[in-house]
Amino acid sequence: MLQTTTDFLETLKKNEWKYKDLQELENGSDHVCCGVNGKMTTVDYHFFFDKDGRSFTMRVSRLFAVPIDKKLAIMEVMNTVNKDYRWAKFFINDECWMNIQVDAIVTAENAGMIAMELMIRTTQIIDDTYAKFMHEIWA
């Protein structure tokens, strides 16, 4: 297991947070999945710690489905959200699901703290913006 992953797991334990899954991937990176209950929805965060120990990406997949007939309206909201919230990048994948990606440069000593902070911030961003997206879907 990578030192960045170990630091993250220790940070989770210290803060009494749990993780759902831990995998060492064939490409040498590690994957950790954490479930978080926000005010608006429950989210699974997928962390991919790079094998060089200097970065990770955090992803939220399938936050919500984007109806084809609402895609343009959702994209307008998404562009505003991406402009207003610099920590998390929202995007619609090829299957029309809203996803989020956050990338971070880290060291083995600060990976846990940074990953935890970005997970907390992204949860707050989702809580702040989810209703805006749902308003467009149900309009």
Structure tokens at 9: 């797991």
Give the number of other CB atoms < 10 A from CB of residue 123. Answer: 20
Ranges of each domain in the chain: 3-138
Which CATH number is associated with domain 3-138?
3.30.1460.70
pLDDT band at 87 (very low <50, low <70, confident <90, very high): confident
H or E element that contains 61 = strand 55-65
Contact criterion met (CB below 8 Å) for 87 and 125: yes
Q: What is the mean pLDDT of the chain?
A: 96
pLDDT tens per residue, range 43-71 = 999 999 999 999 999 999 999 999 999 99
Q: Has residue 92 got a pLDDT over 90?
A: yes
Q: What's the pLDDT at 86?
A: 85
User: Would you state the pLDDT for residue 40?
Assistant: 82
pLDDT for residue 38:
85
Q: Name the pairing type of β-strands 21-24 and 42-49.
A: unpaired
